[in-house]
Amino acid sequence: MQDRFAEVLRDDVQAGFSLWRLWGMLGWDDIRQRYRRSVLGPFWITLSMGVFIFVLGIIYAKLFNVHIDTYLPFLSAGYITCGFISSTANEACRAFLDGERIIKQIKLPYMIYVLRLVYRNFIVFLHTIVIFVPVALIFHVKFGLVSLLAVLGLGLVYINQIWTTVVLGILGARYRDFAPIVVTATQILMFATPIMWPVENLGGSTMIATINPLYHLIEIVRAPMLGATPPLLSWVISIGVAITGSLLAFALLVRAERRLVFWL
């Protein structure tokens, strides 16, 4: 069994990460194909997201009785980060299904298809995060050295996206009905997470946010972007989820690696 673990770690995980030029090229090509013959290309995502956040910010600021100066930066930072997480999760079930023809013809590390998908959604995230720049300037968000923690937080989110894609990709290949379940669960989790509503509005019911890993993943990126230090609990939970999830994903990959091609 130890030999099997070492084999998968060497030939799949390590080899997959080392082929970064390949999965980087595939991820970028996915974006190009999606927006081919489009004038603005991927910046249509930026435009549509910007309009959505602006309209939603005005409406929800009134509903929650929050000043627009603080609410719009809060909404834009949280919603864009959550968009990266949710879009990756929704597509993760097809990580290996979309690479079916390549998998059946060429022996490549399975991690390539995982890293390709996460990188593709990260490119989309980079196109949407630029929305936060004018929002921060207009509403005078105060940046400082603590803002650099957003990069560290984003790296931790990226790691969690990788193991999530491995798990959902394997389950999605084995059980084809799993994809719509993930989409529904993601939508429910988004509504149950303080993205469009501040935690302060919960009053004494902050436990809803405390036990929600998605909230902590968003908070370690959103709080530094708003010039605040993320709670220590958010770092602990995010790191703990990353370690536990990575071990789960690796164990699942070891178990399914030889069978995956037959599920496609």
Structural domains in the chain (count): 1
The pLDDT of residue 14 is above 70: yes
- Average of per-residue pLDDT across 35-47: 71
What's the CA dihedral at 237, 193, 76, 245 to 10 degrees? Answer: 40
- Average of per-residue pLDDT across 29-36: 81
Question: What per-residue confidence (pLDDT) applies to 155?
Answer: 95
Q: What percent of the chain is predicted at pLDDT more than 70? A: 94
- Average of per-residue pLDDT across 55-62: 86
Question: What per-residue confidence (pLDDT) applies to 219?
Answer: 93
Question: What per-residue confidence (pLDDT) applies to 81?
Answer: 93
246: Cβ contacts below 8 Å, ≥ 6 apart: 159, 162, 163
- Average of per-residue pLDDT across 79-86: 92
The pLDDT of residue 78 is above 60: yes
Burial letters for 18-41: b for 16+ Cβ neighbours within 10 Å, e otherwise? ebeeebeebbeebbeeeeeeeeee
Least confident residue range of 15-19, 68-72, 190-194: 190-194
- Angle at 115 (CA atoms; ends 114, 116), nearest 5 degrees: 90
Question: What per-residue confidence (pLDDT) applies to 154?
Answer: 96
CA–CA gap between residue 103 and residue 169 (Å, rounded): 14
- Average of per-residue pLDDT across 87-99: 92
The pLDDT of residue 114 is above 90: yes
Question: What per-residue confidence (pLDDT) applies to 203?
Answer: 57
- Average of per-residue pLDDT across 157-183: 94
* Contacts within 8 Å (CB) and 24+ apart, 69-76: 69/139, 69/140, 70/139, 71/198, 72/135, 72/139, 73/132, 73/135, 73/136, 73/139, 73/141, 73/225, 73/226, 74/198, 74/222, 74/226, 75/195, 75/196, 76/131, 76/132, 76/135
Structural domain for 40, as ranges: 2-263
Single pTM value for the model = 0.91
Averaged pLDDT of the chain? 88
Question: What per-residue confidence (pLDDT) applies to 42?
Answer: 65
Each residue of 229-252: pLDDT tens digit? 999 999 999 999 999 999 999 999
Question: What per-residue confidence (pLDDT) applies to 38?
Answer: 65
Least confident residue range of 71-75, 127-131, 182-186, 195-199: 195-199
The pLDDT of residue 182 is above 80: yes
The pLDDT of residue 205 is above 80: no
The pLDDT of residue 173 is above 70: yes
The pLDDT of residue 261 is above 80: yes
Backbone phi, psi, residue 103, to 5° = -60, -40
- Average of per-residue pLDDT across 140-163: 92
CA–CA gap between residue 71 and residue 33 (Å, rounded): 36
- Average of per-residue pLDDT across 96-125: 92
- Average of per-residue pLDDT across 22-28: 91
82: Cβ contacts below 8 Å, ≥ 6 apart: 190, 193, 195, 214, 218
